[in-house]
Amino acid sequence: MAMRCAFVLATAALLGPAAARAAESDCAPWPGEPSALPTVASPDSVLARWATLRAAELAAMARAGESASPARANRLWRHVLCLDPASADARAALEQARLVRVHRPDVVVGRGASAPEAGPAQLRLDDPIRVVSREPRAPAPSTTPPSDWTRTDAALRGAEGKLREADFEAALASAQRVARQLGDSNADPGGRERRARAEVVAATAQVALGREDEARRSFERALQADPGLRLDPATTSPKVRRAFDAALAAKGRTP
């Protein structure tokens, strides 16, 4: 433990006072991580290997989310530095974030197909946000007025935003509140879709908080609302996928 603290504090000294305070205060293990938090230099080879893989996983998440959520990416990079105090990528990312004061990218609205996405190496914080406006589909004839989901959608976006910022308790509370408001017996397809979306946010937060049984039950409720629900394996962490697969198995379905 003394060796780990020495590595963290020595690296933080290179990044200035703000990074030093982050190194001292932010190296507590996150939910589901070993306590005390190991590093890549831990004498136990198993823990050192775990720290290496965990640092690589968080670094990939930080790179992918730097443009969409700089605050969450910064938090992930600081945790990478706890696991791997010698990480040059984490030091560079934190130093760059330290120099940023205001980020107000332009929003460019167009029509038709979107422009090709830039690779991770080409993304910059000051790149404009491109929004593609497509022609709306003609609504199907209906004898009842459409539901107004404005407040529900705003609440769901807020819960998802808290999830991206790694504020798991707030994300869970917001998602559960939306799910309760929608109820179990909502016959509107839009209500069922949003109920499933809220339960997915809740389950993801519960996995991050180490509440796997609660996450499985949330995924079961999501599947009840939307039986065709599937998670994107490219953007979903293995722990979240395992909880989702357990919910599928509980309903007698194959992952």
For the segment 59-79, what is each residue's pLDDT rounded down to a tens digit? 999 999 888 888 888 889 999
From 76, 99, 122, the end of a domain falls on 99
Position 154 scores a pLDDT of 92
Are 93 and 155 in a shared domain?
A: no
Are 68 and 154 in a shared domain?
A: no
Two tokens, residue 136: 């709306």
From 64, 99, 134, the end of a domain falls on 99
Are 155 and 70 in a shared domain?
A: no
Say if strands 107-111 and 129-133 run parallel, antiparallel, or are unpaired: parallel
- pLDDT band at residue 132 under the 50/70/90 scheme: low
- pLDDT band at residue 157 under the 50/70/90 scheme: very high
Q: Are 130 and 121 in contact (CB under 8 A)?
A: no
- Within a domain: 235: yes
Burial pattern 197-221, b for ≥16 Cβ within 10 A else e, equals bbbbbbbbbbbbbebbebbbbbbbb
Q: Which of 24-33, 52-61, 173-182, 190-199 has the highest mean pLDDT?
A: 52-61
Domain of 251? 149-255
Q: Is the pLDDT of residue 233 over 90?
A: no
- pLDDT band at residue 6 under the 50/70/90 scheme: very low
The full length of the chain comes to 255
Tally the domains of the chain: 2
CATH number, position 248: 1.25.40.10
Position 190 scores a pLDDT of 83
Are 224 and 155 in a shared domain?
A: yes
Two tokens, residue 90: 């984490």
- Within a domain: 176: yes
Position 66 scores a pLDDT of 84
- pLDDT band at residue 4 under the 50/70/90 scheme: very low
**Beta bridge mates, 110:** 132
- Within a domain: 31: yes
Backbone phi and psi for residue 84, each to the nearest 5 degrees, phi listed first: -135, 80
Residue type, 193: E
User: pLDDT tens for residues 92-128?
Assistant: 988 876 544 445 556 666 655 545 555 555 556 556 6
**Beta bridge mates, 131:** 109
Position 226 scores a pLDDT of 87
Q: Which of 2, 15, 166, 1 is nearest to 86 (CA)?
A: 15
- Within a domain: 28: yes
From 66, 99, 132, the end of a domain falls on 99
